[in-house]
Amino acid sequence: MGAQPDGRNGGEVTQLLRAWSDGEADAFDRVLPLVYEELHRMAARYLVGERSTVSLQTTALINEVCVRLLGWDPVRWQNREHFFGVSARMMRRVLVDIARRRRAERRGGPNAVRVPLDGIDVAASEPTADLLAVDAALQLLAAEDSRKAQVVELRFFGGLSVEETAEALGISVRTVHTDWALARAWLYRTLKAAHAE
């Protein structure tokens, strides 16, 4: 499920995000209840395959993202899609940090944190991939084509629709469809090659 289109409270969310950007400290406290349900859905999506290996609950992941957002230098929020895109990136970073700590502890043992990739249409024979491998692949993709990497982050990790992704990135819906298809194919090849090594 993606972020809901601007509707009953969409305009209010955008206004509050912009007020927060302008230094109104209490704007974050007012916007959080309006975005919490969507943040919860995003966090649950991230954690769907992690329950047995990550000692982090959905609420704890959201709390960690909020702490990191509040600790950031002021961001010029464009709209709610921009907020959810950044939040998705923060969730990914939190889980990658946890995976790196666990890998350091276990030295890459069989219990490494894994994340499902069915949302990006990898073959059924490869239903999961190591979160660190996904992160490394996305970093490589970002170095080659940052827009395609942003599309993956917003669509797969952020759960935004094609239309919301287009709006957040300021590109056409057709471009999102094209980037999404090419990025999925690229990630599949990259992850398959890494798995074969």
Distances (CA, A) of 145 to 77, 86, 109: 23, 18, 32
Q: Which of 91, 101, 113 is nearest to 43 (CA)?
A: 91
On whether the CB atoms of residues 176 and 164 are closer than 8 A, the answer is: no
Q: What are phi and psi of 50, to 5 degrees?
A: -105, -5
* Per-residue tokens: 78: 């464009």
d(CA 79, CA 99): 31
SS3 of 171, please?
A: coil
Q: Is 5 helix (H, G, I), strand (E, B) or coil?
A: coil
pLDDT given for residue 23 in this prediction:
85
- The tens-digit pLDDT sequence of the chain (197 residues) is 344 444 446 688 989 999 988 888 789 889 999 998 889 888 887 777 554 445 568 888 888 888 888 877 667 888 888 888 888 888 888 888 877 777 766 654 544 444 444 444 333 223 334 677 888 888 899 999 999 998 888 887 777 788 888 888 889 999 999 999 888 888 888 887 776 66
* Predicted local distance difference test score (pLDDT) of residue 179: 92
pLDDT of residue 117: 43
